[in-house]
Copies of this chain bind each other. A is one copy, B any other.
Amino acid sequence: MRFDGLKGFRDFYPAEMAFRRWIEDAWHRASRAAGFEEWDGPVLESLDLIAAKSGAEIEGQLYVFDDKGGRRVTLRPEMTPTLARMVGARAGGLPKPIKWYCVPQFFRYERPQRGRGREFIQWNADMIGSADPAADAEVIGIALDALRRLGLGPEDVRVRLNDRGLLKRKLAELDVSGDDEAPVLALLDKLRRDASAAAGLEELLGADRAGRISTWCREFPRDDAGELAPLLEACGEMGVGDFVEPDFTIVRGLAYYTGPVWEIFDRKQTLRSVAGGGRYDGLIASLGGPELPALGFGMGDMVLGEILRERGLEPPASPRIDTFVVPIGEDMLAAARRVVARLRTAGVSAEAPYRAVNVKRALRAASQAGARRAVFVGPDEWAEQSVKVRDLASGDERTVSFDDLD
């Protein structure tokens, strides 16, 4: 009987796994370079916790069920509720600012499409306890540091930056507030990628006000963009200024953002966003955590993977085996195993065939494994506790004592 994997879930064969680990490794290195510490939480959380942040209507997009103890539980769709829960449980004892990152897998019951599955890996980095714009720049900086380590530059990706405080003040100037604010923000969010958004704005606000908002968004008025100057300057000092540009249409759908918000897109903006983040000063407290300023971002592996593949970027070749050990005849099998064990203990990846094979076939296997060298274990050398080591690129061969092998 044949079985299939579930739709929207991925099988990671070794090649796909190496690609995933290459991305994750850049995330780990960028995080640690900035002094962020890794954490993780449960894959399963109570629905109450998730709904406290996102509202009960999120249940429709979740893998949610009753466990055998009758608890309503869900596969995690994001990390912030868990972050608030864990920081809340130990807030007093944690030095501030808390700089934490994680590389969890998330689950959402959505229609699979390009750059979106029902599971994905997402790098999260959050800082709790600093209200300084330099903290926002630092967080933007590490997101870009990871992308740079993967080979992407300002010609490939852009950070589009806005400020929710500025946006709200501007809308108030244009007499948009109260009940109108949320739908206007939702339409602004779509203005660049959805032609119907402009019409929607006009319907909601009338041609005059809608026109003024659209114009304002398009023209990045110098005076207003000036409010973002301290953050833009800090980004420049952090060495990522050329990635960043103000964009008043960046809203970040979620209600809880309070300050700077930003998204990273591929330069031509043909795909969904690679990453998104911002400042969410009140959220941790509303989820039972401490009253502390906070900010952070998430970067998924799927849109990023599309961009990397499109650019022809891929992980550096990583041979399966460094040293292929060749027993010369059946009698040398045991000796070959000793050589293999010695190399592995010395930190060298090594392998020998389980049965004696001729040298030609052994060298073919060595080449398939990407081996850098072959070690021949023959009766004459072994009688003197030595082996022959051949560099497979140059063909150079030398005799090495077993005790010196590494």
Instruction: Report A37 CB to chain B, min CB distance, Å.
Output: 4
Copies in the complex: 2
Instruction: Report A166 CB to chain B, min CB distance, Å.
Output: 21
The A interface is mostly helix, strand or loop, or mixed, namely mixed
Check A12–B35 contact: CB distance below 8 A: no
Check A349–B42 contact: CB distance below 8 A: no
A246 contacts chain B at the CB level, 8 A cutoff? no
A69 cross-chain contacts in B, Cβ below 8 A: 7
A43 cross-chain contacts in B, Cβ below 8 A: 9, 43, 75, 105, 107, 119
Segment of A201-209, A248-256, A340-348, A386-394 engaged in the interface with chain B: A340-348
A89 CA / B340 CA spacing, docked (Å): 32
Check B9–A44 contact: CB distance below 8 A: yes
Residue positions of A touching B, CB distance < 8 A = 1-7, 9-14, 17-18, 20-21, 29, 32-35, 37-46, 48-49, 52, 63, 65-69, 71, 73, 75, 81-82, 85-86, 88-90, 95, 100, 105, 107, 109, 119, 130, 132, 134-135, 137, 141, 145, 233-234, 237-240, 287-288, 320-321, 333-334, 337-338, 340-342, 344-345, 347-351, 354-355, 368-369
Check B38–A5 contact: CB distance below 8 A: no
A48 CA / B349 CA spacing, docked (Å): 38
A105 cross-chain contacts in B, Cβ below 8 A: 43
14 further A-B contacts with Cβ under 8 Å, apart from A14-B38, A44-B75, are A3-B46, A5-B42, A10-B42, A13-B86, A29-B347, A35-B320, A35-B349, A43-B105, A65-B65, A132-B355, A134-B354, A145-B345, A237-B341, A238-B340
Instruction: Report A366 CB to chain B, min CB distance, Å.
Output: 11
Instruction: Report A121 CB to chain B, min CB distance, Å.
Output: 10
Check B68–A321 contact: CB distance below 8 A: no
A40 CA / B3 CA spacing, docked (Å): 17
Contact status of A35 and B368, CB under 8 A, knowing A48-B3, A288-B1 = no
Pick the most buried of A5, A20, A33, A342: most chain B CB atoms within 10 A of its CB. A33
Check B337–A134 contact: CB distance below 8 A: yes
A145 CA / B345 CA spacing, docked (Å): 8
Task: Out of B1, B38, B134, name the residue touching A21 (CB < 8 Å).
Answer: B38
Q: Which residue of B lies closest to A64 (CB)?
A: B65
Closest 3 pairs (CB-CB, A-B):
A65-B65, A9-B42, A239-B341
A355 cross-chain contacts in B, Cβ below 8 A: 132
A34 CA / B320 CA spacing, docked (Å): 9
A145 CA / B95 CA spacing, docked (Å): 37
Check A135–B354 contact: CB distance below 8 A: yes
A68 CA / B239 CA spacing, docked (Å): 46
17 contacts between A and B (CB under 8 A): A1-B288, A5-B86, A9-B43, A11-B42, A17-B38, A33-B344, A34-B349, A34-B351, A35-B351, A44-B107, A63-B65, A63-B67, A67-B109, A145-B344, A145-B345, A234-B337, A239-B341
Contact status of A41 and B5, CB under 8 A, knowing A35-B351, A86-B13, A132-B355 = yes
Check B5–A45 contact: CB distance below 8 A: yes
Q: Which residue of B lies closest to A355 (CB)?
A: B132
A42 cross-chain contacts in B, Cβ below 8 A: 5-6, 9-11, 119
Contact status of A3 and B347, CB under 8 A, knowing A109-B68, A337-B237 = no
Check A130–B35 contact: CB distance below 8 A: no
A137 cross-chain contacts in B, Cβ below 8 A: 337
Q: Which residue of B lies closest to A135 (CB)?
A: B354
Task: Out of B1, B44, B333, name the residue touching A134 (CB < 8 Å).
Answer: B333
Check B33–A3 contact: CB distance below 8 A: no
